[in-house]
Amino acid sequence: MYSFMSPPLAEETEITGPLAAKLFSSSFTTDADLFVVFRVFAPHGNEMVFQGALDPHTPIGQGWLRASHRKLDPVLSTEYRPYHPHAVRESLIPGKVYELDVEIWPTCIVVPVGYRIALTIRGKDYEHPGKGMRIKSFVNEMRGCGPFLHNDPDDRPKALFGGRNTLFAGGRNPSFVLVPIIPKRNV
Protein backbone atom coordinates (compact mmCIF):
# COMPACT_ATOMS: atom_id res chain seq x y z
CA MET A 1 0.00 0.00 0.00
CA TYR A 2 1.23 3.47 -0.82
CA SER A 3 -0.45 6.85 -0.30
CA PHE A 4 0.22 10.17 -2.00
CA MET A 5 -1.08 13.05 0.15
CA SER A 6 -1.53 16.73 -0.68
CA PRO A 7 -0.43 19.52 1.60
CA PRO A 8 -3.25 21.11 3.63
CA LEU A 9 -5.67 22.81 1.23
CA ALA A 10 -5.31 26.61 1.27
CA GLU A 11 -8.96 27.14 0.40
CA GLU A 12 -12.27 25.32 0.44
CA THR A 13 -12.21 23.01 -2.61
CA GLU A 14 -15.14 21.46 -4.45
CA ILE A 15 -14.44 18.12 -6.13
CA THR A 16 -17.33 17.01 -8.33
CA GLY A 17 -17.32 14.41 -11.11
CA PRO A 18 -15.42 11.35 -12.26
CA LEU A 19 -11.77 10.77 -11.35
CA ALA A 20 -9.15 8.69 -13.10
CA ALA A 21 -5.60 7.53 -12.41
CA LYS A 22 -2.85 6.67 -14.86
CA LEU A 23 -0.39 4.33 -13.15
CA PHE A 24 2.70 2.45 -14.25
CA SER A 25 3.29 -0.84 -12.48
CA SER A 26 5.16 -4.10 -12.69
CA SER A 27 4.45 -7.38 -10.93
CA PHE A 28 6.46 -10.37 -9.83
CA THR A 29 3.60 -12.53 -11.18
CA THR A 30 1.59 -12.66 -14.42
CA ASP A 31 -1.30 -10.59 -13.06
CA ALA A 32 -2.09 -7.97 -10.43
CA ASP A 33 -5.12 -6.26 -8.96
CA LEU A 34 -4.89 -2.53 -8.22
CA PHE A 35 -7.26 -0.88 -5.78
CA VAL A 36 -7.19 2.92 -5.97
CA VAL A 37 -8.78 4.91 -3.15
CA PHE A 38 -9.36 8.67 -3.14
CA ARG A 39 -9.46 9.91 0.48
CA VAL A 40 -9.87 13.03 2.63
CA PHE A 41 -8.02 13.64 5.91
CA ALA A 42 -8.88 16.18 8.62
CA PRO A 43 -6.15 18.53 9.93
CA HIS A 44 -5.63 16.25 12.97
CA GLY A 45 -4.86 13.33 10.63
CA ASN A 46 -8.03 11.24 10.90
CA GLU A 47 -9.55 10.04 7.66
CA MET A 48 -13.02 11.35 6.90
CA VAL A 49 -15.39 8.62 5.74
CA PHE A 50 -19.00 8.85 4.69
CA GLN A 51 -22.22 6.84 4.63
CA GLY A 52 -22.21 4.89 1.36
CA ALA A 53 -25.18 3.00 -0.06
CA LEU A 54 -24.61 0.31 2.59
CA ASP A 55 -21.32 0.95 4.33
CA PRO A 56 -20.90 3.74 6.92
CA HIS A 57 -17.10 3.86 6.41
CA THR A 58 -16.91 4.73 2.70
CA PRO A 59 -14.05 6.85 1.30
CA ILE A 60 -14.92 9.55 -1.24
CA GLY A 61 -13.83 7.54 -4.27
CA GLN A 62 -12.66 4.05 -5.25
CA GLY A 63 -11.55 2.30 -8.41
CA TRP A 64 -10.29 -1.17 -9.31
CA LEU A 65 -8.39 -2.71 -12.17
CA ARG A 66 -7.12 -6.20 -12.86
CA ALA A 67 -3.90 -5.57 -14.82
CA SER A 68 -4.59 -8.39 -17.30
CA HIS A 69 -7.78 -6.48 -18.26
CA ARG A 70 -5.91 -3.23 -18.96
CA LYS A 71 -6.86 -2.99 -22.64
CA LEU A 72 -8.92 0.13 -23.32
CA ASP A 73 -11.76 0.63 -25.78
CA PRO A 74 -10.43 3.58 -27.84
CA VAL A 75 -13.92 4.70 -28.87
CA LEU A 76 -15.61 4.62 -25.47
CA SER A 77 -12.65 5.75 -23.34
CA THR A 78 -12.13 9.36 -22.32
CA GLU A 79 -9.36 10.92 -20.24
CA TYR A 80 -11.68 11.02 -17.22
CA ARG A 81 -13.35 7.64 -17.87
CA PRO A 82 -11.13 4.84 -19.13
CA TYR A 83 -13.38 2.11 -20.50
CA HIS A 84 -12.16 -1.49 -20.27
CA PRO A 85 -14.25 -3.96 -22.32
CA HIS A 86 -12.83 -6.98 -20.40
CA ALA A 87 -12.99 -8.92 -23.67
CA VAL A 88 -9.43 -10.23 -23.62
CA ARG A 89 -7.03 -11.28 -20.87
CA GLU A 90 -3.45 -10.10 -21.44
CA SER A 91 -1.09 -11.70 -18.92
CA LEU A 92 1.82 -9.67 -17.57
CA ILE A 93 5.45 -10.48 -18.12
CA PRO A 94 6.96 -10.47 -14.61
CA GLY A 95 9.14 -7.39 -14.08
CA LYS A 96 7.88 -5.51 -17.17
CA VAL A 97 6.32 -2.07 -16.56
CA TYR A 98 2.73 -1.61 -17.82
CA GLU A 99 0.61 1.50 -18.25
CA LEU A 100 -2.67 1.11 -16.38
CA ASP A 101 -5.67 3.45 -16.58
CA VAL A 102 -8.01 3.17 -13.60
CA GLU A 103 -11.50 4.60 -13.47
CA ILE A 104 -12.40 6.02 -10.05
CA TRP A 105 -16.10 6.36 -9.39
CA PRO A 106 -17.51 9.91 -9.51
CA THR A 107 -17.81 11.86 -6.28
CA CYS A 108 -19.06 15.19 -5.02
CA ILE A 109 -17.62 16.87 -1.94
CA VAL A 110 -16.49 20.26 -0.68
CA VAL A 111 -13.23 19.76 1.21
CA PRO A 112 -12.67 22.38 3.95
CA VAL A 113 -9.57 24.57 4.31
CA GLY A 114 -6.72 22.76 6.07
CA TYR A 115 -7.88 19.27 5.06
CA ARG A 116 -5.78 17.03 2.80
CA ILE A 117 -6.70 14.81 -0.13
CA ALA A 118 -4.87 11.56 -0.78
CA LEU A 119 -4.64 8.79 -3.32
CA THR A 120 -3.92 5.33 -1.93
CA ILE A 121 -2.92 2.42 -4.16
CA ARG A 122 -3.34 -1.04 -2.66
CA GLY A 123 -3.20 -4.67 -3.65
CA LYS A 124 -6.51 -5.46 -1.92
CA ASP A 125 -9.80 -3.83 -1.02
CA TYR A 126 -9.86 -0.66 1.07
CA GLU A 127 -10.35 -1.28 4.79
CA HIS A 128 -11.23 1.50 7.20
CA PRO A 129 -9.28 0.86 10.41
CA GLY A 130 -11.15 -0.17 13.51
CA LYS A 131 -14.31 -2.12 14.01
CA GLY A 132 -16.70 -2.22 11.09
CA MET A 133 -20.43 -2.71 11.05
CA ARG A 134 -21.90 -6.18 10.63
CA ILE A 135 -25.31 -7.06 9.24
CA LYS A 136 -26.48 -10.63 9.88
CA SER A 137 -27.38 -11.36 6.26
CA PHE A 138 -23.90 -10.31 4.98
CA VAL A 139 -20.82 -12.49 5.30
CA ASN A 140 -18.33 -9.62 5.42
CA GLU A 141 -18.00 -6.90 8.02
CA MET A 142 -18.48 -3.47 6.41
CA ARG A 143 -15.21 -1.53 6.59
CA GLY A 144 -15.36 0.66 3.48
CA CYS A 145 -16.45 -1.56 0.57
CA GLY A 146 -19.76 -2.77 1.93
CA PRO A 147 -20.26 -6.52 1.77
CA PHE A 148 -18.67 -6.75 -1.69
CA LEU A 149 -15.01 -7.72 -1.43
CA HIS A 150 -12.52 -9.04 -3.95
CA ASN A 151 -11.37 -11.93 -1.79
CA ASP A 152 -12.65 -15.09 -3.47
CA PRO A 153 -9.67 -17.51 -3.44
CA ASP A 154 -10.82 -19.01 -6.77
CA ASP A 155 -10.82 -15.57 -8.43
CA ARG A 156 -7.72 -14.24 -6.63
CA PRO A 157 -5.40 -17.21 -5.98
CA LYS A 158 -2.60 -16.17 -3.63
CA ALA A 159 0.09 -17.56 -5.96
CA LEU A 160 -1.05 -15.11 -8.66
CA PHE A 161 -2.28 -12.11 -6.65
CA GLY A 162 -0.20 -12.38 -3.48
CA GLY A 163 3.05 -11.23 -5.06
CA ARG A 164 4.86 -7.92 -4.90
CA ASN A 165 3.99 -5.11 -7.30
CA THR A 166 6.01 -1.96 -7.96
CA LEU A 167 4.73 1.49 -8.93
CA PHE A 168 6.75 3.79 -11.22
CA ALA A 169 6.34 7.56 -11.60
CA GLY A 170 8.17 10.36 -13.38
CA GLY A 171 10.32 10.44 -16.50
CA ARG A 172 9.12 7.73 -18.90
CA ASN A 173 6.28 6.89 -16.48
CA PRO A 174 4.06 10.01 -16.28
CA SER A 175 1.63 8.83 -13.61
CA PHE A 176 -1.18 11.15 -12.55
CA VAL A 177 -4.59 11.37 -10.95
CA LEU A 178 -7.27 13.45 -12.66
CA VAL A 179 -9.33 15.30 -10.03
CA PRO A 180 -12.36 17.37 -11.13
CA ILE A 181 -11.91 20.57 -9.10
CA ILE A 182 -14.76 23.02 -9.62
CA PRO A 183 -13.53 26.64 -9.66
CA LYS A 184 -15.11 29.07 -7.21
CA ARG A 185 -17.57 31.46 -8.78
CA ASN A 186 -17.70 35.07 -7.68
CA VAL A 187 -21.36 35.79 -7.19
Residue 65 in domain: yes
Q: How far apart are CA 97 and CA 9, in angstroms?
A: 33
Domain that holds residue 151: 2-179
Q: What is the pLDDT of residue 1?
A: 82
- Overall pTM surpassing 0.85 (yes/no): yes
Q: Above 80 in pLDDT, residue 131?
A: no
Residue 161 in domain: yes
Give residue-wise pLDDT tens across range 158-170.
Answer: 888 888 999 999 9
Residue 73 in domain: yes
Q: How far apart are CA 74 and CA 64, in angstroms?
A: 19
CATH number of the CATH domain containing 102? 2.60.120.260
- Number of separate domains in the chain: 1
Residue 132 in domain: yes
Q: Is 158 helix (H, G, I), strand (E, B) or coil?
A: helix
Residue 184 in domain: no
Residue 186 in domain: no
Q: What is the mean pLDDT of residues 68-74?
A: 97
Q: How far apart are CA 57 and CA 140, in angstroms?
A: 14
Q: What is the pLDDT of residue 150?
A: 74
